[in-house]
A and B are shown apart, each in its own frame.
Chain A
Amino acid sequence: MRRWWIPAAGALALASVLLGAMVGPAGPSWWRVPLALLDHLPLVSIDSGVTPREWTIIWDIRMPRVVLAALVGSMLSLSGASYQGVFRNPLVDPYLLGVAAGAGLGATLVFTLNRTGSSTWIIDPLPLSAFAGGLLAVLVTYVVGTAFGGQKSASTLVLAGVAVTALATAVQTFVLQRHTDVVRQVYSWILGRLSSATWGDVRLVLPYVVVSSVVLFLHRRLLDIMRVGDDEATALGASVNRVRIVVVIAATLGTSAVVAVSGLIGFVGIIVPHAVRLLAGASYRVIVPLSLLMGASFLIIADIPGRVLQNPSETPIGVVTAFLGAPFFLLLLRTRQGTR
């Protein structure tokens, strides 16, 4: 039965990509889009009836946005699932741990320190600065959360994350107050910015997402062992600290890169892994690949209303996921307390 879930989720992700490419306010009739995409595959030639101008809309406007949504959705879901695994805490995700806020602060600093000058750099400093901020934030959250609450307290870690988020946001606001020239640019980015996606954005995050996903994917069996707690996992021969450090660094790297490009898109890392658990069970061998695939589908689909209902102005994707995610989180909090 479990083998069946992964192809199904793969098919859903593919269907979401197609759906994402088919809808939009301008461009060719929706049914011509799959034909046009097939036509551009190597060795395939189909008369799709799509003009070169329409093809530009599909390939240079819609597709980068769909692909970026898929990468961001996968990465946030996978990181969320991984953080939940290594911290043995069902309530954490990249946002509640402060990773996103820390990465946001790191990215804001790059924006304020003359973003235009960075185009001459060999490696774009934006994801790296976001990574430094995100890693610092998750370290502070973890140290504070475990120092006061011990390993067993799920809520202390979340509270520490909330405090770190508040602090990082405050510093970010302070920095912005002193650099009012970039306020507009930074705020449109904070609210989640898939709308202006380009292939350049995709190229920027892709290496980080691939590296992070591969590392997390390799750890899926070890994440199952971590579920029995540090002592028992150690007694079973697992190197608990090494696994935790590597997984946190990988998840933070991926999260920071997508935050640097797409802004703060909340709750994906908590909605998707928990939906996967409800559907396909709690083993990380299944949660890791399914979160990756379902996260992509989730964010592509969540982005569609914002793209279609463009009047008077577009709804930021971060607002859509928060509308869905906040009630979901409260529901989760309620059921978790019921079982304890």
Chain B
Amino acid sequence: MTSLQFSGVGVRYGQHDALSNFTDTVKPGEWLCLIGPNGAGKSSLLRSVAGLAKHSGEIRVDGSPLRMRSAKRRAQLVAYVPQSPVLPDDMTAREYVVLGRNPFVSHFGSETKHDWAIVADVLERLDLVDLAHRAVGTLSGGEKQRVVIARAIAQEAPILLLDEPTSALDIGHQQQALELVDQLRKEHGLTVVSAMHDLTLAGLYSDRLCLLHQGYRVVSGTAAEVLRQETLAEFYGVSARVHHAEDGTVVVIPYRQGSSGN
């Protein structure tokens, strides 16, 4: 299992600081969930790990700096699922999943039997065998998300980054996708960093939440520690009640001003 360490990480687009001085350590096998309003810097943080955003400070994987790595080596360590993945309509699910093997194939080479065996295995485990030869453009939203996760798993990277993995899904498929990630995390010992908008789901699935606001890290801890009514009011500007269920689940319920103000 692999740790991910941030020290003073900043991301700047032109004159605008999207992320400032972020320091945190994600323990091996931990699921860290980044929360915060739009523009808080969650995506910038994930993009800096994936090598898509230039950053200051240092990001270390198991203690060694990520910036020293080639794009290929980095892709062997970090798999990235973007918020809205590009799914070429006429590519088959199998062709799409095998793209995840790119970090292990030489520049002008082609996939080996071993690569195709891994793809077959991933398709099998994610229940995608029947869809393997379907064009991804014809799949449903939930199936598409499974295919994207399958590509990331085929990458066999110990760190998995998920940017809003459930934003396009209905409540049933949200749960399915997150259960799948959690199951894969346990099977493979993955370290997961995700950005999520649904605070209840974020608290339910992750080990730890980290609240970002305007590029700064505000607070980090368990769902019960982070998801507090005053915190949400201050940083999201939202009127919400926080309900602690008996099983420890923290539920965030928005309410309308004036309709039931207690």
Contacts and interface: CB of A to CB of B under 8 A. Distances in A.
Given A228-B96, A235-B50, A236-B155, 20 more contacts: A218-B108, A221-B110, A227-B91, A228-B86, A228-B99, A231-B52, A232-B86, A234-B50, A234-B51, A234-B52, A234-B71, A235-B52, A235-B78, A235-B82, A237-B71, A237-B72, A237-B76, A281-B92, A282-B90, A282-B91
A231 B82 CA distance: 9
Nearest to B46: A235
Contact of A224 (B50, B95, B108, B137): B95
B144 interface: no
Contact of B71 (A227, A229, A231, A239): A239
Interface of B: 50-52, 70-76, 78-80, 82, 85-92, 95-96, 99-100, 102-103, 105, 107-111, 135, 137, 155
B193 to A, nearest CB: 14
Contact of A238 (B96, B102, B109): B102
Nearest first, the 10 closest Cβ-Cβ pairs linking A and B are A237-B75, A282-B90, A237-B72, A237-B103, A229-B86, A235-B80, A227-B88, A218-B108, A236-B102, A235-B50
Contacts of B82: 231-232, 235
A247 interface: no
Interface of A: 218-219, 221-222, 224-225, 227-229, 231-232, 234-239, 277, 281-283, 285, 339
A282 B71 CA distance: 26
B139 to A, nearest CB: 15
A236 B103 contact: yes
A332 to B, nearest CB: 13
A235 B86 contact: no
Contact of A277 (B90, B100, B107): B90
A235 B87 CA distance: 15
A225 B102 contact: yes
B88 A282 contact: yes
B166 to A, nearest CB: 19
Nearest to B108: A218
B66 to A, nearest CB: 13
Contact of A228 (B70, B72, B76, B85): B85
Nearest to A215: B108
B52 A225 contact: no
A236 B91 contact: no
A236 B75 contact: yes
A221 B105 contact: yes
Contacts of A238: 71, 102
Nearest to A339: B89
Nearest to A152: B86
* Interface hub of A228, A235, A239, A285 (most chain B Cβ within 10 A): A235
Given A228-B85, A228-B86, A231-B52, A237 B74 contact: yes
B51 A235 contact: yes
Nearest to A218: B108
A234 B108 CA distance: 16
A228 B71 contact: no
Contacts of A221: 105, 109-111
A282 B134 CA distance: 12
Contact of B100 (A227, A231, A236, A285): A236
Contacts of B107: 222
